[in-house]
Amino acid sequence: MSVLYRKYRPQQFGEVIGQNHIKVTLASEVISEAIAHAYLFVGPRGTGKTTLARLFARAINCQNRKKNSAEPCNTCPSCEQIRADRSLDVMEIDAATHTQVDNVRENIISSAHVPPLNQNGYKVFIIDEIHMLSKHAFNALLKTIEEPPIRVVFILATTDIYKVPSTVISRCQRFDFKKIPQTLVIERLKSISAREGVTVPAPVLASVARKSEGCLRDAESLLGQVLSLAEKGSVSQESAELVIPRSNWSEIEQLLGELSQQNVSAALSRLHELADQGADLEILLDDCIEFTRQLLLKKTIGPTFQPNADENAAQAVSRLAEQFSAQELRRLLEIFMLESHRSKVATIPELPLELACIAYCLEQSAPHLRREIPKKTETQVAEPASQPTMSMDMLSQLKIFWPQLLHMLKGHNHSLAVFLKVAHPIQIQNDHLTIGFKYDFHANTVGESKNKRFAEDAFSELLGKRVSIDCIVDPQYTENHKNFAGMNEKEVQDVLSVMGGEVL
């Protein structure tokens, strides 16, 4: 089986998927014969830059193109030579392998002064990855682009526009390519599968489209791998999972549905069921982040937002977004992202998602974890500065994740982890965390510039926002550390009801 993206490369403007704003403009220029001397195609990989460049080169050199039509005939000698990469009038150059000024002079500048063999056509230079050229090569090319020979067209393509000099950009007609919407990618994959005579389940096509992230070439390459597993004209879901991980969106919809009801037991049962079925929990966590992101965008933007997903998933997003508030979705997304960072050091694969489910449900369903500190009145006596004054939701978060913080630090600085193991947070105000120690030596060591900076990075990752720390000796260390290290009885029961176990 030949490579699909080459086998089914569009041969007409009408066959190109997406990029309508570019296709219409280029087609109008072909019909009106208002051809610019230089074009700059900018955009992500696999979105049609080279394809449209080749089509445009074929269209302006076609000998049998119909009047008031931009489509090349694909049968005349000029079209056939360009399609077979044998035309001397169309040159494709990979700037990534021809970066030096000598390459530009020999392959482009000298050739540009040779008239096209097709007297009614154009000499076209398609230069891919133009941003890879050296500074001297750009300078040499600039003069030719600025004052090009008659009937010479340059088409420059890049995925990194910021590396292209502004002097080059200003002399080109620029077109910005966009990622292909997932719905269009799925339709394209369906069409190719049908033409190959292979039946592929819709969830597999949706997974391929989502995995490609708007890059049609990647999607077609993945589809080629899936089709190679076909038996008797069809591909099973199980076979496709050998190439691309199973789509978790339907399972995630159920998992988030449980979280929307703060049903942590059901959510964890669902998670453990997926783990027993062999789901890749790292991919599942990434999918949770993307799904929650789609929910938050839907909730925030409203009906005009179209999720980047297949029809069934888009309906699930719309349906589930009604069960959350925007604030709840924002917090849930923060927790998932925080656990995604921690998953790299987790020794138990299920742990990051378990902690995410527990943390969210405890925050949402346990009012005693979110109670506010009473405001002081004029008759009240101010409490000592060493008493914990942080909000209880932040305190509960630190209690839950403090062991993992120590684990994170232990791999980099064992002493720092040991000192923080016998410390506790006192207060947090304006993103400034005060930590209490029993001994002056511990406070001073952790407060040293290098250790402090490292600890601040770890705490910032833990809390999901940038915080600074201050290390002090706590006059009421024994009482405060006991309150922090040992959760109160009700908080313990909340965790035990979810995870099981007993207090030792």
Q: What is the CATH number of the domain that holds 28?
A: 3.40.50.300
Tokens in use for 233? Answer: 């004209």
Range of the domain at 160: 4-176
162 and 44 share one domain: yes
* Residue 504 domain-assigned (yes or no): no
In this prediction, residue 384 has a pLDDT band, given cuts at 50, 70 and 90, of very low
Q: What is the CATH number of the domain that holds 198?
A: 1.10.8
* Residue 503 domain-assigned (yes or no): no
Tokens in use for 74? Answer: 């694909």
72 and 149 share one domain: yes
Q: Evaluate if residue 368 carries a pLDDT over 50.
A: no
In Å, how far from its chain's centre is CA 3?
A: 26
Query: Are the CB atoms for 109 and 77 separated by under 8 Å?
Result: no
Q: Which of 202, 244, 241 is nearest to 222 (CA)?
A: 244
397 and 470 share one domain: yes
Q: What is the pLDDT of residues 188-225, one digit of tens each?
A: 999 999 988 888 888 888 888 888 888 988 888 888 88
299 and 195 share one domain: no
Q: Which of 190, 189, 161 is nearest to 175 (CA)?
A: 161
* Residue 349 domain-assigned (yes or no): yes
Which residues make Cβ contacts (< 8 Å) with residue 160, sequence separation at least 6?
131
236 and 327 share one domain: no
The whole-number pLDDT of residue 2 equals 64
Angle (CA) 482 357 404, round 5°: 45
* Residue 378 domain-assigned (yes or no): no
Q: Phi first, then psi: what are they for 7, rounded to 5°?
A: -60, -40
User: Average of pLDDT values for 386-394?
Assistant: 47
Q: What is the pLDDT of residues 249-265, one digit of tens each?
A: 778 888 888 888 888 88
In this prediction, residue 411 has a pLDDT band, given cuts at 50, 70 and 90, of low
Which residues make Cβ contacts (< 8 Å) with residue 207, sequence separation at least 6?
240, 244, 245, 246, 247
Q: Evaluate if residue 26 carries a pLDDT over 90.
A: yes
156 and 89 share one domain: yes
Query: Are the CB atoms for 363 and 393 separated by under 8 Å?
Result: yes
Angle (CA) 105 106 112, round 5°: 75
Q: What is the pLDDT of residues 164-175, one digit of tens each?
A: 898 899 989 999
Mean pLDDT of the chain: 81
Q: Evaluate if residue 504 carries a pLDDT over 70.
A: no
149 and 14 share one domain: yes
Q: Evaluate if residue 380 carries a pLDDT over 50.
A: no
Domain count, the chain: 4
In this prediction, residue 158 has a pLDDT band, given cuts at 50, 70 and 90, of very high
Compute the Cα dihedral for 196, 200, 204, 209 and give only its sign.
Answer: positive
* Residue 374 domain-assigned (yes or no): no
148 and 263 share one domain: no
111 and 22 share one domain: yes
Strand order in the sheet with 152-158: 90-94, 123-128, 152-158, 38-42, 173-176
The whole-number pLDDT of residue 150 equals 86
DSSP assignment letter at 108: I
Q: What is the pLDDT of residues 108-153, one digit of tens each?
A: 777 777 788 888 889 999 999 988 888 888 888 888 888 888 888 9
